[in-house]
Amino acid sequence: MQRKTLLVGAGILVLLTIVTVIFLLTSKPSYRGAVITPPWLAPEIKLTDHNGQPFTMSGQRGKVVLLYFGYVNCPDECPLTMAHIKLALQSLGDRARDVQVAMVSTDPVRDTPQALKEFMGHFDPSFLGLTGTPAELQKTWADYGVTVEQGGETHSTFLYVVDSAGDVRETFLPDAEPVDIATDLDLLLKGK
Q: Judge if 38 and 114 occupy the same domain.
A: yes
Q: Judge if 26 and 89 occupy the same domain.
A: no
CB 33 within 8 A of CB 179: no
- The H or E element spanning position 47 is strand 46-49
Residue 93 to residue 162: CA distance in whole angstroms: 20
Q: Judge if 17 and 55 occupy the same domain.
A: no
Q: Judge if 159 and 87 occupy the same domain.
A: yes
- H helices within the chain, ranges in order? 2-26, 77-92, 113-121, 134-143, 178-189
Q: Judge if 25 and 80 occupy the same domain.
A: no
Query: Mean of the pLDDT values across residues 100-119?
Result: 96
The confidence score (pLDDT) of residue 163 equals 97
CB 73 within 8 A of CB 154: no
* Window from 22-31, 32-41, 98-107 with minimum mean pLDDT: 22-31
The confidence score (pLDDT) of residue 175 equals 86
CB 113 within 8 A of CB 131: yes
CB 146 within 8 A of CB 53: no
> Which of the four pLDDT bands, split at 50, 70 and 90, describes residue 7?
low
pLDDT tens track for 112-145:
999 999 999 999 999 999 999 999 999 999 999 9
Q: For residue 57, give the CATH number of its domain.
A: 3.40.30.10
pLDDT tens track for 55-98:
999 999 999 999 999 999 988 889 999 999 999 999 999 999 99
- The whole domain housing 104 covers 31-189
Query: What residues are paired with 47 via a beta bridge?
Result: 55
Residue 166 to residue 59: CA distance in whole angstroms: 9
Domain count along the chain? 2
Mean pLDDT across the chain: 87
More confident residue, 150 or 7: 150
Q: Judge if 173 and 162 occupy the same domain.
A: yes
> Which of the four pLDDT bands, split at 50, 70 and 90, describes residue 174?
confident
The confidence score (pLDDT) of residue 33 equals 92
Q: Judge if 135 and 158 occupy the same domain.
A: yes
> What amino acid occupies position 160?
Y
- Number of CB atoms found within 10 A of residue 17's CB: 10
Q: Judge if 81 and 161 occupy the same domain.
A: yes
Q: Which has the closest alpha carbon to 67: 83, 88, 45? A: 45
Q: Judge if 174 and 105 occupy the same domain.
A: yes
Q: Which has the closest alpha carbon to 152: 98, 100, 115? A: 115
Q: Judge if 42 and 117 occupy the same domain.
A: yes
- Number of CB atoms found within 10 A of residue 5's CB: 9
CB 69 within 8 A of CB 146: yes
Q: Tell me the pTM.
A: 0.83
Query: Mean of the pLDDT values across residues 11-37?
Result: 59
Q: Judge if 49 and 101 occupy the same domain.
A: yes
